[in-house]
């Protein structure tokens, strides 16, 4: 590998390294936000379950009121049994009492069923509360880990920028504008190695004359994608 190729390869690796660090800096807040959104979704599930519990309790309350009303009617009807004017009236009242007692039996069964549902939903709510606590703890840990790493990542960016400034001294003055446009458009992808006979960025074959120029240490741009090329013998 020529000195020029080695220098360009080192420059490329610096850009790749800075890209990776920038990616970590960008992904940190995104990961935190995703974790927080996940916790908020868990809270929505909890609210749904809590609303279901509220509705079930309202049903129990209404059925208890119906039960009390029927019991009061039964007591009143039992009192009327003693004052029935005829056997027919007695039988009618007795039939009403039996019907109300049957209705009460059904209400009691329904109340018990609703209470079982409430118990199940209460447990489900507790499970969601535990999940929410875990989700927010997870989000907090991701935030703390990122804050702990951020200073180091910022320092690494500065190191990369300083190293890149030094490494870019190999770029001649008449090519700096062209190379700057490349880095603005493609970042770390501004450079590409020649793998075998092909540009690794666009996979187009490099003309023999360009390979000769590369081997002689000249700076060459890919005629297809415009990347600054360098030969990497380790990929031959």
- The average pLDDT across 38-57 equals 97
Q: How many domains does the chain have?
A: 2
State phi, psi for 172 to the nearest 5 degrees. -60, 155
Per-residue pLDDT tens over the stretch 110-156? 999 999 999 999 999 999 999 999 999 999 999 999 999 999 999 99
Given 112, 140, 170, the domain boundary residue is 170
> Do residue 145 and residue 129 come from a single domain?
yes
- The average pLDDT across 217-226 equals 93
State phi, psi for 209 to the nearest 5 degrees. -65, -40
Are 200 and 224 spatial neighbours (Cβ–Cβ below 8 Å)?
no
Given 139, 170, 201, the domain boundary residue is 170
> Do residue 183 and residue 133 come from a single domain?
no
> Do residue 218 and residue 236 come from a single domain?
yes
Are 230 and 193 spatial neighbours (Cβ–Cβ below 8 Å)?
yes
Q: What rounded mean pLDDT belongs to the chain?
A: 93
Residue 101, pLDDT score: 94
- Where are the strands (E) in 73-221, listed by range? 191-195, 198-199, 220-221
Between CA 54 and CA 213 the distance in angstroms is 79
How far is the CA of 155 from the CAs of 16, 25, 66, 148, 184, in angstroms? 16, 12, 72, 12, 22
pLDDT of 83 above 90: no
Residue 106, pLDDT score: 96
Given 154, 170, 186, the domain boundary residue is 170
**SS3 category, 192:** strand
How far is the CA of 83 from the CAs of 77, 86, 97, in angstroms? 10, 9, 15
Residue 36 tokens read as: 């927080």
- The average pLDDT across 36-63 equals 97
Are 194 and 200 spatial neighbours (Cβ–Cβ below 8 Å)?
yes
> Do residue 44 and residue 23 come from a single domain?
yes
**Whether the model pTM is above 0.85:** no
Residue 1, pLDDT score: 61
pLDDT of 21 above 80: yes
> Do residue 45 and residue 141 come from a single domain?
yes
> Do residue 29 and residue 124 come from a single domain?
yes
Q: What is the CATH number of the domain that holds 73?
A: 1.10.287.1490
Are 39 and 135 spatial neighbours (Cβ–Cβ below 8 Å)?
yes
- List b or e across 46-79, with b for residues whose CB sees 16 or more CB atoms inside 10 angstroms: beebbeebeebeeebeebeeebeebeebbeebee
| Long-range contacts (CB closer than 8 Å, 24 or more residues apart) made by 4-7 | 4/170, 4/217, 4/218, 4/219, 4/230, 5/214, 5/217, 5/230, 5/231, 5/232, 5/233, 7/167, 7/170
Alpha-carbon dihedral angle through residues 186, 190, 195, 200, given to the nearest 10 degrees: 20
Residue 232, pLDDT score: 82
Residue range of the domain that includes 203: 171-236
State phi, psi for 193 to the nearest 5 degrees. -85, 160
**For residue 70, which of 23, 37, 94, 104 has the smallest C-alpha distance?**
104
Between CA 156 and CA 201 the distance in angstroms is 26
> Do residue 113 and residue 189 come from a single domain?
no
> Per the domain annotation, does 133 fall within a domain?
yes
């Amino acid at each position: 590998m020529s000195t020029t190729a080695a220098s360009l390869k080192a420059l490329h690796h610096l850009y790749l390294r800075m890209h990776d660090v920038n990616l970590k800096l960008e992904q940190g807040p995104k990961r935190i936000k995703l974790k927080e959104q996940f916790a908020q979704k868990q809270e929505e599930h909890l609210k749904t379950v809590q609303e279901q519990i509220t509705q079930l309790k309202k049903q129990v309350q209404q059925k208890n009121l119906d039960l009390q009303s029927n019991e009061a009617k039964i007591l009143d009807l039992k009192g009327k049994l003693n004052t029935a004017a005829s056997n027919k009236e007695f039988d009618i009242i007795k039939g009403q009492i039996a019907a109300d007692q049957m209705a009460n039996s059904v209400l009691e069964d329904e109340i018990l069923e609703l209470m079982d549902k409430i118990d199940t939903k209460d447990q489900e709510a507790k499970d969601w509360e535990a999940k929410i606590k875990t989700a927010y703890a997870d989000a907090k840990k991701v935030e703390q880990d990122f804050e702990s790493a951020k200073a180091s990542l910022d320092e690494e960016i500065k190191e990369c920028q300083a190293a890149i400034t030094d490494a870019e001294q190999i770029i001649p003055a008449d090519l700096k504008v062209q190379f700057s446009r490349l880095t603005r458009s493609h970042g770390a992808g501004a450079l590409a190695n020649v793998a075998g006979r092909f540009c690794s960025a666009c996979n187009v074959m490099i003309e023999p004359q360009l390979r000769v120029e590369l081997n002689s240490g000249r700076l060459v741009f890919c005629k297809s994608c415009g990347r600054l090329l360098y030969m990497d013998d380790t990929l031959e």
